[in-house]
């Protein structure tokens, strides 16, 4: 099979969000911390009417509908999520309800923080390249409900899901070289089954992310250049870059961090760009100190500013308006890039995708757009989904929704009471959980 890649994308964004500037006021936080400091504009949220089964059912049913998919022609279906409702039963098995008589579908759920979707994408590519491939397409689903306990991490929540149709002869083709970095770290994890909230060491998780950016770029580069000390060159190699987006600010810093790796690979090229005093200070940093050093960060963020605006900002338009979607985040960032740059300007362009999951697992991969993608951008329809397609609710309503979720957690014999008013047509929602924890849904 040739040109294995993405043939269709559907993104689910909930019917309500809270404005981050309103949240700053409500939380009594200095103005600008969430909006400028973290780079976030609106945060999507759901009440007790939606869960990982419902949002996955919503996004996959819409993918099937909008791309007219013959469900018999799907041979693999995988889900990446870290929003667990069950320690045994998969989300994938729930989604089998959408595939009619087709029960011959490989794939299951993959869990590791925000990385499960990317692992599922890699599995789908590998299956299509393998001797067991039967000619059918794959669907990869990634989605999460990202919510945090009260405190500093709360404004970095969000909700969303993506479903991608993956197969041969695609307009968005996966390049064969990837670079990964995996390591043991307790930066963000969910050891407490009685709560939906993670345990998070916030600032440590940011430096883990930056370290992963370094190693993935170096590992990706060395497979291209054949030299472990030589990077591919950020601007030469990638036309655009999408990232896992915990906050848009971290992404801007991480893009600049790639440029720092280019500097380390070829310092002479930066002689005229960075004064010698700054270079000396940067060169003297230990690796660990370099991960959080403010002078280094500022130097490269400033150097990369214009290119960040051109090559990364379109990938942040959706994330700044939804917040973190965990497993879906890197892929929705790619979808944002596709939508806001548009088919014409993306022809023959290479797009980097950096995926990070705490704990930790990370990969830098790339795709090349080889033909028209306007059918895909039309379905994405982000202007509507982020505009008239949803409602901006008050911080009070956001907190009330989160409280409903807390009450619903781990319940059986339960009827959710949250409003279904904001749900778009075609959205699945929870009707009840019976005495055996079985969940029943309706469609708006």
Classified as helix, coil or strand, 167 is strand
Q: Which of residues 155-184 bind ligand ACO (CB under 6 A)?
A: 156
Write the binding mask 234 to 263 for ligand ACO: x where contact by CB under 6 A, - elsewhere.
------------xx-x--------------
298 binds ligand ACO (CB under 6 A): no
Sole window of 2-10, 40-48, 116-124, 152-160 interacting with ligand ACO (rule: CB under 6 A)? 152-160
Sole window of 77-85, 88-96, 148-156, 220-228 interacting with ligand ACO (rule: CB under 6 A)? 148-156
Residue from 115, 127, 209, 331 binding ligand ACO (CB under 6 A): 209
Q: Which is nearer to ligand ACO, 38 or 165 (CB)?
A: 38
3-state helix, strand, coil in the chain (%, to 5): 45, 20, 35
410's tokens: 């781990």
Parallel, antiparallel or unpaired: strands 5-12 and 158-167: antiparallel
Q: Which is nearer to ligand ACO, 36 or 269 (CB)?
A: 36
Residue from 45, 115, 127, 188 binding ligand ACO (CB under 6 A): 188
Residue 336 CB-half CA count within 13 A: 30
Residue from 38, 259, 379, 402 binding ligand ACO (CB under 6 A): 38
Q: How far apart are the first and last CA of the chain?
A: 39
Q: State how far the Cα of 169 lies from the Cα of 362, in Å rounded to an integer.
A: 27
Residue from 200, 216, 251, 304 binding ligand ACO (CB under 6 A): 200
22's tokens: 């309103």
Parallel, antiparallel or unpaired: strands 16-19 and 179-182: unpaired
Q: Which is nearer to ligand ACO, 25 or 203 (CB)?
A: 203
114 binds ligand ACO (CB under 6 A): yes
CA 56 vs. chain centroid, Å, equals 15
46's tokens: 């759901």
20 binds ligand ACO (CB under 6 A): no
328 binds ligand ACO (CB under 6 A): no
Q: State how far the Cα of 344 lies from the Cα of 408, in Å rounded to an integer.
A: 46
Bridge partners for 165 per DSSP = 8, 139
Q: State how far the Cα of 319 lies from the Cα of 299, in Å rounded to an integer.
A: 25
Which residue reads 């917040």 in tokens?
323
Q: Is 82 a catalytic residue?
A: yes
Q: Which is nearer to ligand ACO, 38 or 430 (CB)?
A: 38
Q: Which is nearer to ligand ACO, 8 or 157 (CB)?
A: 157
Shortest distance (Å) from residue 389 CB to ligand ACO: 25
21 binds ligand ACO (CB under 6 A): no
Burial class for 123, CB neighbours closer than 10 Å (0-12, 13-18, 19+) = buried
**Nearest Cα to Cα of residue 16 among 442, 406, 402:** 402
319 binds ligand ACO (CB under 6 A): no
Q: Which is nearer to ligand ACO, 38 or 335 (CB)?
A: 38
The site for ligand ACO (CB under 6 A) is made up of 30-33, 36-38, 114, 152-153, 156, 188, 200, 202-203, 205-206, 209, 246-247, 249, 324, 358
The residues assigned a catalytic role are 82, 114, 244
């Amino acid at each position: 099979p040739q040109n294995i890649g993405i043939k269709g994308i559907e993104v689910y964004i909930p019917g309500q969000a809270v404005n981050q500037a309103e949240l700053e006021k409500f939380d009594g936080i200095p103005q600008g911390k969430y909006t400028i400091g973290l780079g976030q504009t609106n945060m999507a949220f759901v009440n007790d009417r939606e869960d990982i089964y419902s949002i996955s059912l919503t996004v996959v049913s819409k993918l099937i509908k909008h791309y007219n998919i013959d469900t018999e022609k799907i041979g693999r279906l995988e889900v990446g999520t870290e929003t667990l409702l069950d320690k045994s039963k998969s989300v994938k098995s729930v989604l089998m309800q959408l595939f009619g008589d087709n029960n011959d579908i490989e794939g299951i759920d993959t869990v590791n923080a925000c990385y499960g979707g990317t692992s599922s994408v890699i599995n789908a590519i590998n299956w299509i390249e393998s001797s067991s491939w039967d000619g059918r397409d794959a669907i990869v689903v990634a989605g999460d409900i990202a919510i945090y306990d009260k405190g500093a991490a709360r404004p970095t929540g969000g909700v969303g899901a993506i479903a991608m149709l993956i197969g041969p002869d695609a307009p968005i083709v996966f390049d064969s070289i990837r670079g990964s970095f995996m390591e043991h770290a307790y930066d963000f994890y969910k050891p407490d089954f009685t709560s939906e909230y993670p345990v998070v060491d916030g600032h440590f998780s940011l430096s883990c992310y930056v370290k992963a950016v370094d190693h993935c770029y170096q590992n990706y580069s060395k497979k291209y250049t054949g030299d472990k000390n030589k990077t591919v060159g950020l601007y030469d190699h990638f036309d655009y870059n999408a990232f896992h987006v915990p906050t848009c600010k971290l992404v801007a810093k991480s893009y600049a961090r790639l440029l720092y790796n280019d500097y380390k690979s070829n310092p002479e090229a930066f002689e005229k760009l960075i004064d010698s005093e700054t270079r000396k200070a940067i060169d003297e940093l230990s690796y660990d100190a370099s991960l959080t050093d403010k002078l280094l960060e500022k130097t490269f963020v400033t150097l990369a500013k214009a290119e960040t605006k051109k090559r990364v900002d379109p990938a942040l338009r959706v994330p700044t308006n939804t917040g973190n979607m965990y497993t879906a985040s890197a892929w929705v960032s790619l979808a944002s890039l596709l939508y806001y740059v548009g088919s014409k300007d993306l022809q023959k362009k290479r797009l980097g995708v950096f995926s990070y999951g705490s704990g930790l697992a990370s990969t830098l991969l790339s795709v090349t757009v080889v033909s028209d993608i306007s059918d895909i951008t039309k379905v994405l329809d982000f202007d509507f989904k982020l505009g008239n397609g949803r409602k901006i609710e008050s911080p009070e309503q956001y907190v009330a929704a989160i409280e409903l979720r807390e009450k619903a957690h781990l319940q059986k014999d339960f009827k959710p009471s949250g409003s279904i008013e904001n749900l778009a047509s075609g959205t699945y929602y929870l009707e009840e959980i019976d005495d055996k924890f079985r969940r029943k849904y309706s469609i708006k």
